Chain A
Amino acid sequence: MSPRLLAGLYPPAWRDRYGAEFQSLLEDHPPSGMQLIDIVWGALDAHLFPQAPEGRIGMFTRLSGVAAIGAGVALLIGFLGFIPDVNRFTVPAFYTFAMIGLVGVHVCQVTVRPGLAWAGFVPMLVGLTAGITSMLLSAMAVLPPTGGEFGYVAGIMLWIGATAFGATMLAIRAFPMLFGLAFTVAAPIAMIGLFARNAVTARDALDLVAQLGVVLFACAWIGVGASLFTRQPRQGVLGASPT
């Protein structure tokens, strides 16, 4: 593989600064098989954790931010009913965007406090996966349109996952406190509102609670997505700072 091609695996901003010397190194000392793998791994690292100068945001981070904002907007449009009968588009859009956004947000967090970041990431991922599965099974007419009991469980998992995710974000302080708080508070409010309305007679009041929770939840997604555009992922180089 030519050094030029290998250097081309890296992001443009990286190549601007290191491309020439990196290429020169590979020309003088052609990489072995294992070193080729190492270079591909390094290129992936440069895309996932761009070390661009302040003010430059990497493509992966930007994509995650757009996806998180898209998730919030899809949720708002679908839930608030601005356009009749759009849920069949907005619900899949929410799940897809939320999944991409969540992965991006997680990648940013995992470099700060790996253990906690994983703890916050997994329940939400399970909830979103269950939601997508429920949606697909409903589309294939295996489950009723609402997803039946599976959809019910998927919903609970999504909201519990979102609460854990928000609480983790607060603990890690990887993002502005407001958005972590919005996730943590919105998810249980929406869950209580959405599920309790089926069990009691005061549906109007609970509808309001559910709407409040979902709107807050959507805003949290938009806020987290926007914050990715203003903050670089934080990463340790040598672990804990020496004292």
Chain B
Amino acid sequence: MPRTDKKAQILSPFAAPALLVLATLADGPKHGYAIMQDAEEMTGQPLGPGTLYAALVRLERRGLIEGLPVEERRRPYRLTALGATTLQAHAAQMRSFAHQTLRRLEGGAA
């Protein structure tokens, strides 16, 4: 995703780091740095290590992700079944929101 105007970024639904982390894990397990890279690729915005771990801790605590055994000092994380369901539900809500918003904008512009 290309970088957008700074003022518009405050409205980004991807501003919620926890949701963003869940989304990066949708296609398989990743360790911390891979999540940061993927998040930046998806949103155009860097995800700092402090924010990343604040989100990882909360998600793991609530059973939405789980840590896998450490590989070369890095711990990969993956979605749990609950995490996948939650992400799917949020993505569906966002799709519905985006669809309705675009339709209204198109209707208003006409």
Contacts and interface: CB of A to CB of B under 8 A. Distances in A.
Interface of A: 14, 18, 20-22, 24-26, 28-29, 31, 34-35, 37-43, 45-46, 51, 235, 237-239, 242-243
A182 to B, nearest CB: 31
A31 B47 CA distance: 11
B99 interface: no
Q: Bin chain B's interface residue count.
A: 20 to 34
B29 interface: no
Contact of B58 (A22, A29, A51): A51
Interface in B47-81: 48-51, 53-54, 56-59, 61-62, 64, 70, 73-75
A235 B58 CA distance: 9
Given A22-B53, A235-B58, A243 B75 contact: no
A18 B86 contact: no
B16 interface: yes
Given A237-B18, A238-B86, A238-B90, A18 B56 contact: yes
Given A35-B48, A42-B51, A18 B57 contact: yes
B49 A38 contact: yes
28 contacts: A18-B56, A21-B32, A21-B74, A24-B73, A24-B74, A25-B33, A25-B49, A28-B33, A31-B49, A34-B48, A35-B48, A35-B50, A39-B49, A40-B50, A41-B48, A41-B50, A41-B51, A42-B50, A42-B54, A43-B50, A45-B54, A46-B54, A51-B58, A237-B62, A238-B86, A242-B86, A242-B89, A242-B93
Contacts of A38: 48-51
Contacts of A45: 50, 54
Interface centre among A14, A40, A42, A45 (most CB of B within 10 A): A42
Chain B interface, >50% SS class: helix
Interface centre among B19, B53, B59, B85 (most CB of A within 10 A): B53
A29 B16 contact: no
Nearest to B85: A242
Given A38-B48, A237-B62, 4 more contacts: A41-B48, A41-B51, A42-B53, A45-B50
Given A26-B49, A38-B49, A238 B32 contact: no
A118 B48 CA distance: 28
Contacts of B61: 51
Contact of A25 (B16, B32, B46): B32
Contacts of B62: 237
Contact of B53 (A18, A29, A31, A237): A18
A238 B48 contact: no
A29 B53 CA distance: 15
A42 B57 CA distance: 11
B73 A46 contact: no
Contacts of B64: 237
